[in-house]
Each structure stands twice: as structure tokens, then as C-alpha cells.
Amino acid sequence: MSLNGKIVFITGASSGIGAATALAFAAEGALLLLAARRAGKLAEVASRALALGAAAVHSITLDVRNRQAVQRAIDELPQEWAEIDVLVNNAGLSRGMDKLYTGKIEDWEEMIDTNVKGLLYVSRAVVPGMVVRGRGHVVNLGSTAGEMTYPNGAVYCATKAAERAINDGLREDVLGTPVRVTSVDPGMVETDFSLVRFHGDSGRAAKVYKGLTPLAPEDVADAIVWAASRPAHVNIARIVLTPVHQANSLLFHREP
């Protein structure tokens, strides 16, 4: 299915997987509706997307944790941007890596508010229009962490397990409509993920990727675009992708 001229809404589009996904859809000639908290970074992605072939770009400074702001952003879209064809629920993060009984509650709240509630707020605002129009595709960013909990990551893993349940529940709820629902679940990807998790500690973040070759954001973006470009009658329920140095959330091979 051609993505040329399709309106693609990507949250968390200012960096990492979100930015790579925006550029991948741009190369397909899509119309990009990009949202993130960092307006400056978002403007850089928008400029690169236009250079790569995006038909047009419309950017929104948005924090998906704010339910009213999310609904307002969708309600106030210019008419030419209102009929969203593909939603990529990418906004998400991990904070801290502590034992559950010593974890910082503010870290928990940020993860739950972004990864779970933000996902719900955006889906609730966008999916009704897809159902009414009789077309649309929701791509949710999950994780191998949603399949297997690892030590010191219980709350993050719980948010990604919730994403998996929400994804599957939404696919059940739109059954009987042409709307498609996909979860893309990567393993280790080298982005700012670990830097954010460790609150800016670059040394600690670098150790996460030591001795192995992780996925790149572009690898995940490629999977998202592939799922979105299948024929209209094909729904890719879930894609799990890891680097060859990773078997699951607990087992890695690291070169000396």
C-alpha cells in the first residue's frame, strides 16, 4: 500500500525512534504530523524530513501526559491535517533502574503517565476519527521488556506489558472496521533511552551498549514503515526485533 500523501502522526518525534520513523515515512512521500515536547529538536527533524521527500510537515509542541492538551491538539488541527491515516504512538521513556522497594515514585509516575496514560490519551483522541472514516492504522511502540521483566526495571517493564495489553485490546475493539493495530516491540536500541533512564549519566549509559551491536533507530523505523505499507487487508499484529547479540530482556552476548 502506498504511503504517498498519507497523513502520519508520530508522537515523541524529536529524537531516537520517533525521529527515524519520521524520516522513513518522509522518504515514502507521506504528510508528517510531528509531536514532541522539544520544539527546537522537532524543527530540526521537520527540516530533514522535507529534504528527504515529505509532502508536507506540520509540527505540534505537545506533552502526551497532558490529557487536555492532547485532545485540544487533535481538535484544533487544520482541516487538511485532520484525517490521520497512520498514528505512531512512540512517545515513551524509562527513568531509573532501582529495586522496586527503593525506586523513586516520581520516576514511576513519569513512566506511567507517559508510556501508559499518554498512549491512551492520544489513542482516544485519534482512533474515533479513523473508525468513522473507515480507514487508519495505529502503530504502538512496545518492547521486549513487556514480555519479560528484568531486575531493577519492574515499573518500566509493567508499562510495556500494559502497552501490549492495550494494543491487543484495541485490535479486538476495532474488529469489524478497517482500522489496523500493530505493536512493534524492539529489544536494545541505541538512542538517548539509557541517557534518559540514568538522568543524564553518560558514562553509565554507555556501558549498556558495551561489547555488543544494538539496533539502530532506523531498524525500528524500517519495521514500522513495512507494517504500515502492507495491503489494506493485512494486519501485522506484532513485530519483535532484537540485535543478534540479544536473546531476550535478560540474555545478552557481549564481546570482551
- Measured distance CA(118)–CA(62) in Å, rounded: 11
Q: Is 253 among the domain residues?
A: no
Q: Is 221 among the domain residues?
A: yes
The residue range of the domain holding 186 is: 7-241
Average pLDDT on 237-242 reads 98
Of the candidates 101, 121, 150, 156, the residue annotated as catalytic is 156
Total-model pTM: 0.97
- 60: CB partners within 8 A, 6+ apart: 33, 34, 35, 73
Q: Is 203 among the domain residues?
A: yes
pLDDT at 162: 98
Q: Is 252 among the domain residues?
A: no
- Measured distance CA(151)–CA(157) in Å, rounded: 10
Q: What is the pLDDT of residues 102-125, one digit of tens each?
A: 999 999 999 999 999 999 999 999
Number of structural domains in the chain: 1
CATH number, residue 83 = 3.40.50.720
Average pLDDT on 220-235 reads 98
Average pLDDT on 179-202 reads 94
- Helix 119-133 crosses helix 67-75 at what angle (to 10 degrees)? 30
Give the chain's mean pLDDT. Answer: 97
Q: Is 246 among the domain residues?
A: no
Q: Is 23 among the domain residues?
A: yes
Average pLDDT on 210-232 reads 97
pLDDT at 228: 98
Q: What is the pLDDT of residues 74-101, one digit of tens each?
A: 999 999 999 999 999 999 999 999 999 9
Q: What is the pLDDT of residues 124-145, one digit of tens each?
A: 999 999 999 999 999 999 999 9
Report the Cα 135 to chain-centroid distance in Å: 20
Phi/psi at 107 (5° precision): -65, -45
Angle (CA) 67 71 72, round 5°: 115
Q: Is 208 among the domain residues?
A: yes
Catalytic status, residue 156: yes
pLDDT at 222: 98
Q: Is 95 among the domain residues?
A: yes
